Structure 1
Amino acid sequence: MTKRAATGALIGLALGDALGFPTEFNDVPSILAKTGPWREMQLPHPAIVTDDTQMTLALARGMRTATERGPIGPLRLARPVREEFVDWYHSPENNRAPGNTCLKACSLLNLPERDWRDASQVG
């Protein structure tokens, strides 16, 4: 994928996430009552950058770092992705109510005694 295509995909993801944010966890009748038909939905003002978008961008940055270091594989990918998620975990921008599972996973990634190369430590 070219840099341009990746950027477009990430912008599309962020816009879709911002459109869905006001109705997250609502059922279809509630969503239709709030927004009308989906093809007529307007981008909320302000459009919110959600925790899901932030985590997707962290993953993308980690992948970019890994690919800059050579052919991508699990071991080359693990460290930069881990570092991006730990950075996001500590960021003051991480204030959009991420779920407990995400926060717990990032807190575990943050522990220096949990060596990212040892899969037996998962759990």
Structure 2
Amino acid sequence: MGGVYLVWLGVSTWRSARRGVEATAGGRWRLPWARLGGFGQGLWSNVLNPKAASVYLSLMPQFLTPDRPVAPQIAGLAVAHMAVVLVWLLFWTSVVAAARTAVDTPGFRCGMSRLAGAVLVALGIRTATAS
């Protein structure tokens, strides 16, 4: 029965691929927190991320020398970290922006739905014929 259900899901996904593209062509679906903008989303994800604080608390002391003032050392490390993160995030922003133009097309979404449907049908047939 599981194989039959997977085949049914695959066929219905394949058949609804074009309908889904036509249904979403008029309006674009957005995430609820998208209204904050990119800067607000990034700020809140960093502020609410406990890993960021743990990385600073565990890694920062090993780069400090005890015979020099601590504040300038921390400021220098913070500036270096900001520069590295800025270059890294600008790189990934350009990659994601380029990928979005390719992914955010009706043809791509239709093709991905059809591919998912074909995979579900194949898995359903394999499940149904497995002994």
Calculate the TM-score normalised by the size of structure 1. 0.27
Q: Which has the larger radius of gyration?
A: 2
Calculate the TM-score normalised by the size of structure 2. 0.26
